[in-house]
Structure 1
Amino acid sequence: MTDTKGKITVLGLGAGDLDQLPYGLYRTLTGTGHLYLRTREHPVVSQLAQEISYTAFDEIYERHDSFDDVYAEITDTLLAKALQERAIVYAVPGHPLVAERTVQLLLQEGPKRGVEIEIGGGQSFIDPLFARLRIDPIEGFALLDGTAFKADQVHPGMHTIIAQVYDARVASEVKLTLMEVLPDEHPVTVATAVGVTGQERITTAPLYELDHQDHFGNLTLVYVPPAQEERVRYRQFSYLKEIVAILRSPEGCPWDREQTHQSIRKNLIEETYEVLETIDDEDPDAMCEELGDLLMQIMLHSQMAAEDGYFTVDDVVAGLSEKLIRRHPHVFGEKSAEDAGEALANWQEIKAQEKAAKGIDPERQSKLAGIPRDLPALMYAYKLQKKAAHVGFDWENIEDVYKKIDEEYQELREAAEDERAGELGDLLFAVVNLARFLKIDPEEALALTNRKFTKRFAYIEQKLQEAGRSFDETNLEEMDQWWEEAKWHG
């Protein structure tokens, strides 16, 4: 443990003026030889200007572009002064332990440098704000830092108080972050110097006008009331969990209640392919909708598992988050990866470690293990061949593959009726091998041809409709002609 070589006593100047300052704190402030202030912009400081000697750190704000750098320099300066002078007093607005980043840094760094940090009293801005806006905190509230504000911190159903909104620039960043969660017209209240006679200013405006207010300063905060609109709740993952739980409840939907993992198994596959279709169509709106349908399948399976006591969707999310961090040590850890190849090598190494931790010996496993057995056959064949090739079981050059295709094609032509299915499978398997040598995904290649066929066939149907005829009233020769025309129409 580090020996104590200095001491910093941290006092809070309260949320208002001198009339609201406890007498004990007043005596300490005025009885101290010299004070250090995070900012001189506070009513108590101006009222005591003739009674105290102080050094304020306002100029540090002007030297840096980020608040992190500001707070770091203030902390370093205070610790250095404490070691030099043995004992100093540092005063901050409000309460030292409410929305005061420099105090948290002092508590963190002080013991490491042999400086004791003692926290004095002070009234925070929370009490007068609750009283002024008539908020009952028992309904739930969040107190957040405007200089380090993130959208995932916002809980629309709770009272939200955002402190450290010093100026219009911070207010603008807060506004943009809130607009990721709330409607542009959601009401917000900007409150400055709450409870300070002659200085208090409180204005309420739509969210999109938040940074248009003209009274930002060191005593400014933003209050965001709970959102009641259904459209806001729709964006919350917690609400989706609630909806799915209701659907599966005794009071929910009879169809949803009756489903099991097996009964909706095919739905998961179908929804996956519908997502793939939107990717191929390059249709982002449709993709958004279909991804929602796919997510619904995950939510249903998770809800069923939760009802049986196995796991919840939160366990699914936690497992995924932990796996992503564990398998990306070059991003979240100390390893490095200069390119995709090195990143993949890290991934494979960690997967091997995970198998070993589960008691799986990769050396005793089949080299073909690890392929999902319910993949489409074309994709399954492609992955089988890649795994076999990885250990050297592969053709030496592409000419051998072409020869194999010719061989399998001839065998199919000569096969007896009861042998044709197997011989056709052999031919398809050989064609998949060719795709692998050409570095073409056979599933994607066939999908491309399917789309091309569908588009050209639609052209034939269009021509028949224009002529007022049906397929019974045409012939193959005419359809072939239209098919050739369709090629020229893209």
Structure 2
Amino acid sequence: MHQLTVIGLGAGDFEQLQMGVYRKLQQAKKIYVRTMDHPVLHELVAEGIQLESFDNIYEKHDDFRPVYEEIVATLLDYVEQEDIMYAVPGHPLVAELTIQLLIEAEKEGKVNLKIEGGQSFLDPIFGALRIDPIDGFQLVDGTTFSAHEVNMHHHLLIAQVYDTFSASEVKLTLMEKYREDYPVTIVTAAGSVGEKLRTVPLYELDRAAEIDNLTTVYVPPVANRDEALREWSTFREIISTLRGPNGCPWDQKQTHESLKRYILEEVHEFLQTIDEQDDEHMIEELGDVLLQVFLHAQIGEDEGFFNLEDILEAVSAKMIRRHPHVFGDITVENVEEVNANWEKIKNEEQAIDDTTKPLLNGEYRAASSLQTSYNYQRRAAKVGFDWPTTDGVWGKFVEEWQEFRVEVTNGTNETRLDEFGDVLFTLVNIARVYKISAEDAMLHANRKFARRFAYVEEQVMAGNKDFKAYTFEELDAFWNEAKNQEGE
């Protein structure tokens, strides 16, 4: 098998080229280069060294990936005939996808690969910017990176920013986390005699004239907490501080038990914003729900039982495990098959042993008696303990209602409580049969009552300003006005 030698041209001009690299280039009969757009290559051509570039392949494709794949395929064809040398900008193993593709080909036994030096652009970049990477830095590809990957507390270097369009894409991505006037530095030809640095506000990034294939964009770490409010680690730090020795007395004394009612309240308030279709309010209420999650995670960490990473690992693993049609090789045709798979996998995980574990274990919900009732009846129905028709469900409700009415007249507080509970239980079962969430229905009824009663209160305040001054019939008339305004 012939050998494909890869060599790096460095990040600077001809004067920065390493002597060993220069000698190898001189000795080569012919050199294939990814692109001629590098200052070293013009000097080599002037010395009579034969070069063949792949610049024409760039013109055939709209995306970089197919460009690099075609370059690699061409190199593999050439190396079948003879030993060849392939030269790339910088260091071959830094931000060079064609080399990564060649390494994959080597693992498959398709090529005998030899990779040799060449200074990467990182050293001159660090020197030009006067930064120490030990503080933490990220190197990302400007054509593919996502704002979700960016850590605002690290030095951020963005390569592959080669023209106005790519700079515009980078700008829009960064604006998902950074303010629009955040300072960014455009570094061009770092380490060469033509080195240029220009710091501009983020919104001007795509208007700079210096952008070319030797450009790297630098985004410095945020200077303070208030500039990193879109960073997950910032929120975690805030919660940790609130619970810490110098934090808030209220947050410090909270427990999982004391927070139970708050998480339920916040979820209900968020559900209301969904009904109202209020996006701004939805952001606020989702934040309140997230606050509860982080508080419970911090309490778990403070007590030494679990932390946020444990929660993330558990839920991520569950989502991957229960979606084999997405992350595995299972095929599904519709939502019904997805749900069937979900239940099957869930039952396998729980490994329920009918002889040792009660069926209703794990179905109790301390925060919602309605949800607990629904869970119990749903689980019982799955094993056949259910009315065969809806007539049986309605008949049971009528029976319990009649028993409750008898206790209202002749019973005690205890018997009334017992029979009224039976009535509610049968109502939840009716909701289950007709695929209605009893919890959502109750929330909806409460909101409707509050909305209509607010109208009644407005009318009272606009009149005599005292409820006692009105008869029930007058108040009920206000209520009916509110209903009529809602079209009911």
Q: TM-score range by the shorter chain?
A: over 0.9
What secondary structure sits across from 2:11 in the alignment? coil
Could you list the per-position Cα deviations for residues 401-433 of structure 1 after superposition, in whole angstroms to 9, with x for gaps in the alignment?
333322222222222322222222222222223
Q: Is the 8 A contact 1:36 1:91 kept in 2?
A: yes
What secondary structure sits across from 1:90 in the alignment? strand
1:167 aligned to 2:163? Answer: yes
Which of 48, 64, 68 aligns to 2:65? It is 68
1:95 aligned to 2:91? Answer: yes
- Structure 1 residues 129 and 464: alpha-carbon distance in aligned structure 2, compared to 1, 3 A threshold: same
Which of 9, 18, 22 aligns to 1:22? It is 18
What secondary structure sits across from 1:166 in the alignment? coil
CA shift, 1:6, in A, is 2.4
Map 1:29-40 → 2, pairs under 5 A? 29-40=25-36
Which of 413, 421, 425 aligns to 2:405? It is 413
> Where does residue 319 of structure 2 map in the other structure?
324
What secondary structure sits across from 2:157 in the alignment? strand
> Where does residue 244 of structure 1 map in the other structure?
239
Which deviates more from structure 2 when the two are superposed, residues 426-435 or residues 54-63?
A: 426-435
What secondary structure sits across from 2:143 in the alignment? helix
> Where does residue 59 of structure 1 map in the other structure?
56
Counterpart Cα distance in 1 of 2:388 and 2:210: 76
Which deviates more from structure 2 when the two are superposed, residues 90-99 or residues 237-246?
A: 237-246
What secondary structure sits across from 1:63 in the alignment? coil
1:301 aligned to 2:301? Answer: no
Counterpart Cα distance in 1 of 2:364 and 2:81: 67
CA shift, 1:252, in A, is 2.3
Which of 460, 464, 467 aligns to 1:464? It is 460
Counterpart Cα distance in 2 of 1:430 and 1:155: 53
> Where does residue 278 of structure 2 map in the other structure?
283
> Where does residue 455 of structure 1 map in the other structure?
451
1:195 aligned to 2:191? Answer: yes
Could you list the per-position Cα deviations for residues 343-371 of structure 1 after superposition, in whole angstroms to 9, with x for gaps in the alignment?
11221222122223xxx425654343431
Which of 373, 387, 390 aligns to 2:379? It is 387
> Where does residue 312 of structure 1 map in the other structure?
307
CA shift, 1:196, in A, is 3.2
Which of 191, 210, 218 aligns to 1:215? It is 210
- Structure 1 residues 438 and 140: alpha-carbon distance in aligned structure 2, compared to 1, 3 A threshold: closer
Could you list the per-position Cα deviations for residues 184-219 of structure 1 after superposition, in whole angstroms to 9, with x for gaps in the alignment?
11111222222333x444332211121222333321
Which of 392, 396, 410 aligns to 1:404? It is 396
What secondary structure sits across from 1:215 in the alignment? coil
What secondary structure sits across from 2:227 in the alignment? helix
> Where does residue 419 of structure 2 map in the other structure?
423
- Counterpart AA for 1:238: S
CA shift, 1:281, in A, is 3.3
Which deviates more from structure 2 when the two are superposed, residues 465-474 or residues 188-197?
A: 188-197
CA shift, 1:305, in A, is 2.0
What secondary structure sits across from 2:176 in the alignment? coil
Which of 248, 254, 259 aligns to 1:253? It is 248
> Where does residue 120 of structure 1 map in the other structure?
116
Counterpart Cα distance in 2 of 1:196 and 1:448: 68
Counterpart Cα distance in 2 of 1:291 and 1:41: 50
1:231 aligned to 2:223? Answer: no
CA shift, 1:155, in A, is 1.7
Q: Is the 8 A contact 1:189 1:222 kept in 2?
A: yes
> Where does residue 77 of structure 1 map in the other structure?
74
Which of 339, 347, 357 aligns to 1:352? It is 347
Counterpart Cα distance in 2 of 1:237 and 1:164: 27
Counterpart Cα distance in 2 of 1:340 and 1:369: 27
- Structure 1 residues 355 and 122: alpha-carbon distance in aligned structure 2, compared to 1, 3 A threshold: same
Counterpart Cα distance in 1 of 2:140 and 2:456: 63
Which of 171, 179, 192 aligns to 2:175? It is 179
Identity of aligned residues (%): 48
Counterpart Cα distance in 2 of 1:427 and 1:152: 50
Aligned length in residues: 481
CA shift, 1:375, in A, is 4.6
- Counterpart AA for 1:248: R
Counterpart Cα distance in 2 of 1:43 and 1:328: 51
Which deviates more from structure 2 when the two are superposed, residues 58-67 or residues 213-222?
A: 213-222
Q: Is the 8 A contact 1:6 1:114 kept in 2?
A: no
CA shift, 1:451, in A, is 2.2
Counterpart Cα distance in 2 of 1:259 and 1:429: 33
Counterpart Cα distance in 2 of 1:228 and 1:137: 16
Could you list the per-position Cα deviations for residues 362-398 of structure 1 after superposition, in whole angstroms to 9, with x for gaps in the alignment?
5654343431332522222223222222233222333
CA shift, 1:132, in A, is 2.2
Q: Is the 8 A contact 1:7 1:115 kept in 2?
A: yes
Counterpart Cα distance in 1 of 2:157 and 2:444: 53
Report the RMSD for the aligned CA atoms in angstroms: 2.0
Could you list the per-position Cα deviations for residues 411-463 of structure 1 after superposition, in whole angstroms to 9, with x for gaps in the alignment?
22222322222222222222223223333222222322222222222222111
Q: Is the 8 A contact 2:260 2:367 kept in 1?
A: no
1:361 aligned to 2:353? Answer: yes
Counterpart Cα distance in 2 of 1:362 and 1:54: 75
Could you list the per-position Cα deviations for residues 320-361 of structure 1 after superposition, in whole angstroms to 9, with x for gaps in the alignment?
1121111111111111222211111221222122223xxx42
- Counterpart AA for 1:417: G
Counterpart Cα distance in 2 of 1:310 and 1:436: 36
- Structure 1 residues 153 and 414: alpha-carbon distance in aligned structure 2, compared to 1, 3 A threshold: closer
| TM-score of the superposed pair, with normalisation by structure 1 | 0.92
Counterpart Cα distance in 1 of 2:374 and 2:38: 71
